[in-house]
Amino acid sequence: MSFHRSWTRSATRAVLATGSAVWLGSGAAGASEQRYQSQLEAIARQAPRAQDAEPFTSAPVLERAELVRQVLARNPSLEAAREAWRASLERYPRETALEDPMLSYGVAPLSIAGSARFGQSVELSQQLPFPGKRGLRGEMALAEAQSMREDREAMRLRMALMASTLFDELFVVERSLAVTEEHLRLLGQLKKSAEAQYVTGRASQQDPLQAEVELSEVLREQVMFEAERERLRAQLNGLLHRAPQAPLPPLPEALPTLVTEALSAERLQDEALRLRPELEGLRARVGGGEAAVRLAKRDYYPDVMVMGAYNSMWMDTPHQFMAGVTVNIPLDFGKRKAAVHEAEAGLKRLRREEEQLIDDIRVEVEQARSRADETRRVVALFQERLAPAARDQVAAARAGFESGKNSFQVLIEAERNLRRVELREQTALADVQRRQAELDRALGHIPGLPRNGETR
């Protein structure tokens, strides 16, 4: 009998130890823990570094790449997105942790003051979810955190594109002011020529007045360009987290010529599907959806609560110490089936969204490629035909007016057309840069930065 009792105790201990090891060892898997640590390291690497109070202090001109770098380093929205990513990631330790153990204590009140033996009981219990549940909750938390990370990357692309586009718009305004200055001088010369012709009787009094009207119109355009310059400067300073009226370095006289490698539409689309953070974020959510389906199926299996207790009110010492388990019985299959169906429907929705996003990215890349090609051809048209022809038209009209072969109105129309062509040419030159930046963003590259200078 003694041997049988000893064997029973040993077997019970072995079963309890094995069961506890299975439940306690079913938490976060090693791969998930590595992903968690990897994201923590990425968050630390992307922490903001100390910035100079004023950027561009020693820059002779405002360079596009430096502007984009400063915006990405200084803009508080990106830091807010990093903190949101970090907050989401901190769900992982909570989701994979065990519930707090429960401790209860009780006494027999009538045994406190009486002659009876003092009675008390102590119980310690721990809830243990079915193996795999904590790990799946951790996978869902990591998927959400990865999605937040990719959302931040998408925000970086959008912000870089905004900074690069504002740079181009400011360049157009600056060059438009330069063109305006040239035409103010030209119109001043034409006005003097009209006055000289009027004095000699070869022109009417209307011609100098018409020149004055055109001068006033160009001055009005100059005021508009100057106001637009101030508005663009305020926008850029807002992105840089500076006062709106803070000064910026002057822009370069000309934009660099873009040298682009001719790639097929299919290769560009494949590159975008490999790099776009929106797609990576959606795929992370798909992984979280798969984990949610597996977790819903795990709810068909019971959780366990293990307990150990001491009760002094038992007379026999061996009976004063107790160990046991409590198991929930998942009888309501209807709600668990509904939970599985809900998770499966959510996963199907995410997969359809992934398919749609792939289609959208392919279309976006193709449209951006087409627009970039269009702007390059338009610039070539301006430089090779429109601008030279407009300049020749002004020269011919001026010579004809001075020789009395055409009216001053023809000369003013030629000057007006030249001004319009030169302003549109500056816009076209900036459009090349803008469309290339849009293509870079569609491909998943940071607009305005050299390809080898990109970091995530």
> Binning pLDDT at 50, 70 and 90, where does residue 1 land?
very low
Fold (CATH) for 2-453? Outer membrane efflux proteins (OEP) (1.20.1600)
pLDDT at residue number 101: 94
Model pTM score: 0.86
d(CA 321, CA 279) in angstroms, rounded, equals 57
Q: How far apart are alpha carbons 437 and 134 in whole angstroms?
A: 44
The answer to whether the CB of 271 falls within 8 A of the CB of 443 is yes
68: exposed, middle or buried (C-beta count within 10 Å: 0-12, 13-18, 19+)?
buried
Question: What percent of the chain has pLDDT above 90?
Answer: 74
Confidence bin at 287 (pLDDT 50/70/90): very high
The string of pLDDT tens digits covering residues 387-410 is: 999 999 999 999 998 888 888 899
Q: Are 63 and 99 in contact (CB under 8 A)?
A: no
217-221 contacts at long range (C-beta below 8 A, 24 or more positions apart) = 218/180, 218/183, 218/184, 218/187, 218/419, 219/184, 221/176, 221/180
Mean pLDDT on 160-182: 96
pLDDT exceeds cutoff 90 at 13: no
| Nearest CA-CA partner of 447 in 145, 161, 121 | 161
Q: What is the mean pLDDT of residues 272-279?
A: 96
The confidence score (pLDDT) of residue 6 equals 52
From CA 204, how far away is CA 357, in angstroms rounded? 66
Does residue 170 contact residue 233 with C-beta atoms inside 8 Å?
Answer: yes
pLDDT of the residue at 319: 86
Round the CA-based radius of gyration of the chain to a whole number and report it.
Answer: 38
Question: Residue 454: what pLDDT?
Answer: 52
| Close Cβ partners of 262 (under 8 Å, ≥ 6 residues apart) | none
Write the pLDDT tens digit of every residue in 27-76.
446 889 999 999 999 999 998 887 777 888 888 999 999 999 999 999 99
Q: Which two tokens stand for residue 88?
A: 């989401």
Tokens for 361, please give them. Answer: 């990215």
Query: CA distances (Å), 315 to each of 104, 118, 320, 321, in order?
Result: 21, 12, 8, 11
Give SS3 for 104: strand
pLDDT over threshold 50, residue 198: yes
Where do the H-state alpha helices sit in 248-306?
265-275, 277-298
Q: Is the pLDDT of residue 15 over 80?
A: no
Asked if residue 397 lies in contact with residue 414, where contact means CB atoms within 8 angstroms, the answer is: yes
Please state, in angstroms and rounded to a whole number, the distance separating the CA atoms of residues 14 and 30: 26
pLDDT at 276 over 50: yes
Q: What is the pLDDT of residue 452?
A: 63
Q: Helices (DSSP H) in 200-248: which residue ranges? A: 206-239
**Type of residue numbered 179:** V
Q: Is the pLDDT of residue 17 over 60?
A: no
Contact 393, 422 (CB under 8 A): no
Query: In what helix (H) or strand (E) does residue 365 lie, and over which residues does it extend?
Result: helix 333-381
Mind listing the pLDDT tens digit for each residue in 263-274? 789 999 999 999
Are the C-beta atoms of residues 447 and 441 closer than 8 Å to each other?
yes
* Half-sphere exposure at residue 177, Cβ-oriented, CA atoms within 13 angstroms: 15
Burial of 292 per CB tally in 10 Å (0-12, 13-18, 19+): buried
Cβ atoms of residues 136 and 62 within 8 Å: no
DSSP state of 325: E
Q: Where are the domains of the chain?
A: 2-453
